[in-house]
Amino acid sequence: MTADRFVSPDHIRSLFSQAMSHMYRTEVPLYGTLVELVGAINADVLAAQPELAAQIQRSGERERLDVERHGAIRVGTAQELATLGRLFAVMGMQPVGYYDLSVAGVPVHSTAFRPVDGESLNRNPFRVFTSLLRLELIEDAALREQAAEILARRNIFTAGALQLIEQCERDGGLSEDDAWRFVVESLETFRWHNEATVSLETYHALHGAHRLVADVVSFRGPHINHLTPRTLDIDAAQAAMHARGLAAKAVIEGPPRRDCAILLRQTSFKALEEMVHFPSGADNEAGTHTARFGEIEQRGLALTPKGRDLYDALLAQARGGEGSAGGDYTQRLQDAFAAFPDEHATLRREGLGYYRYSLTEAGQAADAQTRALPAEVLIERGLVTADPIIYEDFLPVSAAGIFQSNLGGGEQRAYAARANRDAFEQALGATVSDEFAIYERLQAESLAALKA
Ligand code: OOG
Ligand code: NI
């Protein structure tokens, strides 16, 4: 088969994210409610803020907004993670960033599989936050071994999915028909199963080690645990969630509300308590499991290392010793972030965020010599505009908050373990990309294009 008969990885990712969204909507109907609510709010925001609408149009983000989602899964073994990496690669999704959640009392470390180049991101920025259980953090040696044995016995991929992954790797792509088959087969890995593979007793033992251990080990596969649409106004969306009686988290994770949105703000509704059957001798025992939830997010400017350091410092200041719990956290957060510039011109000139530069109509008419002037000069002369590059990744402190809330909250554990990026990459069989390098490249490409 020749290469031109292959569909693009971007196309396969779009098909997959659509199919996943459809599946999750039937599994967790409240997700459908969130998608509708966010769609209505985004339409209102775009109508009320023509400048923002124009900027989103200019940066090519308008189309992606309606299909933009992220999901999350948790796997149990190195082999599962490595094969997932190959599965996501078929769809043009690469591992970006390393997140250590053990510091927040969650026994996993994670990466995000996502597209990395500008065009692919605008086509469909679908990302999956993917966590690997750190079995070594289970203290009870016998339970640890039992969990490892259970995991070693399962195969979370269908034979068809594995065959199509191999075929794609061998041939360099998939035809349209094979892409559809790939989507159908791959979806099976992410499906919810209301039948556990372990007895209720084992489930309780695993649950006693950590709820997350039970979630990863007790089922046939790594069910997608949420799917998150992107809103342009998370405060309005949160209010709308409350108005509809959805039990949204009290606190929005991430930076406070600002004129210039930065990084990522997120809120979720609590996980559902779902009926599960546990095999027990000839019979099934009934029990419940809470894992799946809904989340919404608002994305803003990607920060440079300098901007990110400032963000981390101000967030730590607002959280103090109490995290996001004590006192008036929202007020503390607002106060702390008064020190973070809130005008794009300042953010740009101080090198706190990444921007995409493009020629205005007048700029396109300018001669090559003029276009070679420094970008700031061109902006002053109205020949160039700078639009914020959107943050495509995640935030460890926020992710920990999301994990905690959907694990039923309250569960606080401290692990002595450290981040272990090497072990994660070894399990994955690949290195994870540096998110800053990706934003830097997007910015540099746009600057180079001014002179072309
Ligand atoms: C993942 C939680 C992290 C986010 O948006 O930060 C996350 C999980 O619960 O598996 O999805
Ligand atoms: Ni999430």
DSSP string over 82-125 = HHHHHHHHHTT-EEEEEEE-GGGT--EEEEEEE--SHHHHHH--
Query: Inter-axis angle of helices 9-27 and 29-48, to 10 degrees?
Result: 120
User: Cα–Cα distance between 258 and 316 in angstroms, integer?
Assistant: 18
* Residue-wise pLDDT tens digits, 5-16: 899 999 999 999
pLDDT of residue 401: 83
Residue 395 alpha carbon, nearest atom of ligand 1: 6
| Beta carbons of 206 and 218 less than 8 angstroms apart | yes
Nearest CA to ligand 1 atom 7: 399
Nearest CA to ligand 1 atom 1: 72
Is the reported ipTM for this assembly greater than 0.85?
Answer: yes
Distance linking the first and last C-alpha atoms of the chain: 36
CA dihedral sign, ordered 384, 386, 387, 393: positive
User: Cα–Cα distance between 107 and 226 in angstroms, integer?
Assistant: 19
| Beta carbons of 126 and 93 less than 8 angstroms apart | yes
pLDDT of residue 105: 85
Q: Residue 336, SS3?
A: helix
Strand 127-133 and strand 69-75: the pairing is: parallel
Nearest CA to ligand 1 atom 9: 403
Strand 127-133 and strand 226-229: the pairing is: unpaired
How many Å lie between the centroid of ligand 2 and the Cα of residue 73? 10
Number of the ligand closest to the Cα of 265: 1
Going by the DSSP 8-state scheme, the letter that residue 411 receives in this structure is -
- Nearest residue to 182 via CA among 167, 204, 203: 167
pLDDT of residue 408: 63
Beta bridge partners of 70: 127, 228
Q: What share of the chain is helix, strand, coil (3-state, %, to 5)?
A: 50, 20, 30
* Residue-wise pLDDT tens digits, 23-49: 999 998 889 999 999 999 999 999 999
- Nearest residue to 318 via CA among 380, 255, 378: 255
User: For every residue of 345-410, which 3-state class applies, written as one string?
Assistant: HHHHHCCCECEEEEECHHHHHCCHHHHCCCHHHHHHCCCEEEEECECCCCCHHHHHHHHHHHCCCC
* Residue-wise pLDDT tens digits, 98-117: 999 988 888 999 999 999 99
User: Cα–Cα distance between 410 and 278 in angstroms, integer?
Assistant: 26
How far apart, in Å, are the Cα atoms of 126 and each of 12, 36, 135, 312? 11, 18, 28, 26
Query: Inter-axis angle of helices 29-48 and 50-58, to 10 degrees?
Result: 110
CB-proximal residues (5 Å) to ion ligand 2:
228, 295
Q: Which residues of the chain have pLDDT under 70?
A: 1-3, 281-283, 321-327, 407-414, 417
Whether the CB of 399 sits within 6 Å of ligand 1 = yes
Residue 398 alpha carbon, nearest atom of ligand 1: 6
| Beta carbons of 447 and 357 less than 8 angstroms apart | yes
Residue 225 alpha carbon, nearest atom of ligand 1: 10
User: Cα–Cα distance between 195 and 136 in angstroms, integer?
Assistant: 26
How far apart, in Å, are the Cα atoms of 284 and each of 150, 199, 287? 19, 9, 10
Q: Residue 174, SS3?
A: strand
Beta bridge partners of 127: 70
Report the CATH number of the 3-250+270-294+393-432 domain: 3.10.180.80
User: Cα–Cα distance between 109 and 13 in angstroms, integer?
Assistant: 24
| Beta carbons of 311 and 303 less than 8 angstroms apart | yes
Nearest CA to ligand 1 atom 3: 399
What Rg, from alpha-carbon coordinates, does the chain have? 23
User: Cα–Cα distance between 151 and 143 in angstroms, integer?
Assistant: 12
pLDDT of residue 39: 94
Whether the CB of 129 sits within 6 Å of ligand 1 = yes
- Nearest residue to 363 via CA among 355, 372, 354, 351: 372
Beta bridge partners of 110: 99, 131
Whether the CB of 398 sits within 6 Å of ligand 1 = yes
pLDDT of residue 290: 85
User: What is the enclosing helix (H) or strand (E) of 219?
Assistant: none
Q: What are the b/e assignments for 189-224, b being 16+ CB within 10 Å?
A: bbebeeebbbbbebbebbbebbbbbbbbbbbbbbbb
Whether the CB of 130 sits within 6 Å of ligand 1 = no
| Beta carbons of 130 and 111 less than 8 angstroms apart | yes
- Nearest residue to 444 via CA among 118, 70, 72: 118
- What type of residue sits at position 416? A
How many Å lie between the centroid of ligand 2 and the Cα of residue 361? 39
pLDDT of residue 116: 97
pLDDT of residue 280: 79
